[in-house]
Amino acid sequence: MKKIVFSLLFGVVSNVMNSQDAFVNNEVNDISLSEEITELDDKYNIAPTGINSKLSDIGSTFFMNKYIMYSSRKTGAIGAGRDESTNNPYNALYCMNMDKSGNLSHPYFFASVLDSKGNEGGLAFTPDEKTLYYTKSNEGNSGNYSLYKRIFDETCRCTWIQETLIPFSSENYSIENPAVSPDGKKLYFSSNMPGGFGGYDLYVADINAEGIPVNPVNLGKNINTTSDEKFPYVGGSNKELYFSSNGHPGYGNQDVFVAKIRKDGYSNPLNLGKTINSQADEIAFILATKTKGYFTSDRSGSLGLYDIYRFDLQKTPVSLQGTAHEKVSKIALPNTELTLVDENGKEIQKQVTDEQGNYKFNVEPLEIYSIVAQKEGYNAFELPVTTSPGNSFANVALDQKKAEVTKEAIIIENIYFEYNKASLKKESTLSLNKIYEVLISNPEMKISVNAHTDCRGSEKYNQALSDKRANSAYQYLIKKGIESHRISPKGFGESSSLSKCTENCTEKEYDADRRIEFLIIE
């Protein structure tokens, strides 16, 4: 993550014209801004597509593995006519093939039935590509777009039929940049309809059983500003909303941002960074694969008013890391099982903390997770975490369970020693403290500390090792203040195996045999 504070003197323009070729309002106010840009560390390698004209070429979506754009280039009879407000030809729709590198082929007209006497704008398809949502300017007002729906003619498989005007379209405001969610249930769009935060805002509508978008809802103040938010696009995971804005802190006019789609709304947007954004407009961002895609810009060096560029994305890995420790003593807890789950309860990753109690998950930025922790002798623990744009850190603090006292024994989790040694690990002192507490609470109680090993190694060696380990536990309790006559340490080596395994044992069987028992002496 990078946070950049800077001051920039630039012109603030009220709206970009719906044909994308000129400004609606030429009133410019010079203001000095001191803004903080919060951006991702991802890197975008940008290249031209080779299909741009001297006028506007603006990307929109994909259809049948082709890239669709709308452009004011004048080619043949279709697209004839001129927009009086810009003095450029009206926009028409074009499609292009894409090769493996993202290069685009020569543009050809897309669906002449959609061509009108005004401007064609953005379009979107349902996941099955049988329903089309598209925008075109109202007659006599080339800067005001309405939203329409058509279905694919399954009989001839050659055209789009049954044009339907979406009911919330109006001559009093514009609806632009439709985008269907990957699950086909929602339609996102931009509009300057009344009741928004100012300029163009982003909205989402439910797509009903008849394929009609209904009940449009403003995306709210986390996404929308008093300026313009346009060109929504939802990534394939249905969790990321990309859009362009000149209201959030950025590098120039319209920058591309991303926000997480959550159950209860949207995260604060992140700027995609200066490897893709410039002092000009960056709009119409869309991914072709996880690491390749297209966007449109009028940046310096563009051939026309707006050009289409392709990019290769190099994502910077983001991690969630920290330490599991006992809550009071802060002693690190190795071998703690941690499970990372998303906000829907789906398990994402699972791991065990290392010898220092450390963990590290690879995560997505701006995502809501929970870390579920489990360790023998400790209460189950769940920690909600929202990741930051960069690496995030969260420590897991576990509460110990009390020892279980029966007539025969004090039962706690296993005691761990350094490998092949009798020295106690720090985490084992926490376990022995439970024994200490029971003995303090029961001053007449006496116990036998019985140490056992697994079958690896010679009987003589294992007997000596178990004697030393029993004595280590004994010495710890004595130093804590327990009278020596109340504790009897004894080693049993491998003679009292629980698993009864003598060769080719599993690690689980070895773990069961390698133990210390605290038996109550009558």
Q: Would strands 404-405 and 409-411 be described as parallel, antiparallel, or unpaired?
A: antiparallel
- Cβ burial, residue 293 (10 Å; 0-12/13-18/19+): buried
- Which CATH number fits the domain that encloses residue 358? 2.60.40.10
Token readout for 14 is: 């009220």
SS (H, E, C) 420-434: CCCCECHHHHHHHHH
Looking at 366, 398, 430, which one is the last position of a domain? 398
Kindly list the distances between the CA atom of residue 420 and the CA atoms of 429, 461, 489, 500, in Å, as whole numbers in the listed order: 18, 10, 19, 21
pLDDT at 19 (0 to 100): 33
As a whole number of angstroms, the distance between CA 122 and CA 234 comes to 15
Q: Are 56 and 303 a contacting pair, CB within 8 Å?
A: no
pLDDT at 16 (0 to 100): 34
- Report how many helices (DSSP H) and strands (DSSP E) the chain contains, helices first: 3, 38
- Which CATH number fits the domain that encloses residue 477? 3.30.1330.60
Alpha-carbon dihedral angle through residues 386, 392, 393, 399, given to the nearest 10 degrees: 30
Quick count: other Cβ atoms within 10 Å of Cβ 196? 20
Judgement on whether residues 290 and 344 belong to the same structural domain of the protein: no
Judgement on whether residues 264 and 151 belong to the same structural domain of the protein: yes
Looking at 382, 398, 414, which one is the last position of a domain? 398
pLDDT at 428 (0 to 100): 93
Contacts of 102 (CB under 8 A, 6+ apart): 47, 49, 288, 292, 293, 294, 310, 311, 312
pLDDT at 35 (0 to 100): 65
Map tokens 């894409």 to a residue. 98
pLDDT at 403 (0 to 100): 95
Judgement on whether residues 359 and 436 belong to the same structural domain of the protein: no
Judgement on whether residues 207 and 102 belong to the same structural domain of the protein: yes
As a whole number of angstroms, the distance between CA 471 and CA 32 comes to 74
Q: Are 420 and 517 a contacting pair, CB within 8 Å?
A: no
Q: What is the pLDDT along the chain (522 residues), one digit of tens a residue?
A: 444 433 332 222 223 333 333 222 222 223 233 368 889 999 999 999 989 988 889 999 999 999 999 988 875 544 457 766 677 788 889 999 999 888 999 999 888 788 877 788 999 999 999 999 999 987 778 789 999 999 998 888 778 999 999 999 999 999 999 999 999 999 999 999 999 999 999 999 999 999 999 999 999 999 999 999 999 999 978 889 999 999 999 998 999 999 999 888 999 999 999 999 999 999 999 999 999 999 999 999 888 899 999 999 999 999 999 999 999 999 999 999 999 999 889 999 999 999 999 999 999 988 999 999 999 999 999 999 999 888 999 999 999 999 999 999 999 998 888 777 888 889 999 999 999 999 999 999 999 999 998 888 889 998 999 999 999 999 999 999 999 999 999 999 888 888 888 888 888 888 788 889 999 997
Number of domains in the chain: 3
Q: Would strands 446-452 and 487-491 be described as parallel, antiparallel, or unpaired?
A: parallel
Q: What phi-psi label fits residue 198: left (phi over 0), alpha (psi between -120 and 50 degrees) or beta?
A: left
Judgement on whether residues 115 and 187 belong to the same structural domain of the protein: yes
As a whole number of angstroms, the distance between CA 73 and CA 69 comes to 11
Cα-flanking dihedrals φ and ψ of residue 207, to 5°? -100, 115
CA 470 to chain centre: 50
Q: Is residue 178 within a helix (H) or strand (E), and if so which, with residue range?
A: strand 175-180
pTM: 0.80
Judgement on whether residues 162 and 291 belong to the same structural domain of the protein: yes
As a whole number of angstroms, the distance between CA 369 and CA 259 comes to 16
Judgement on whether residues 149 and 224 belong to the same structural domain of the protein: yes
Judgement on whether residues 272 and 134 belong to the same structural domain of the protein: yes
Q: Which domain holds residue 516?
A: 404-521
- Which CATH number fits the domain that encloses residue 111? 2.120.10.30
Judgement on whether residues 457 and 429 belong to the same structural domain of the protein: yes
pLDDT at 85 (0 to 100): 67
As a whole number of angstroms, the distance between CA 273 and CA 256 comes to 8
Judgement on whether residues 299 and 422 belong to the same structural domain of the protein: no
Judgement on whether residues 433 and 382 belong to the same structural domain of the protein: no
Looking at 298, 314, 330, which one is the last position of a domain? 314
SS (H, E, C) 372-390: EEECCCECCEEEEEECCCC
SS3 461: helix
DSSP 56: B
Judgement on whether residues 186 and 55 belong to the same structural domain of the protein: yes
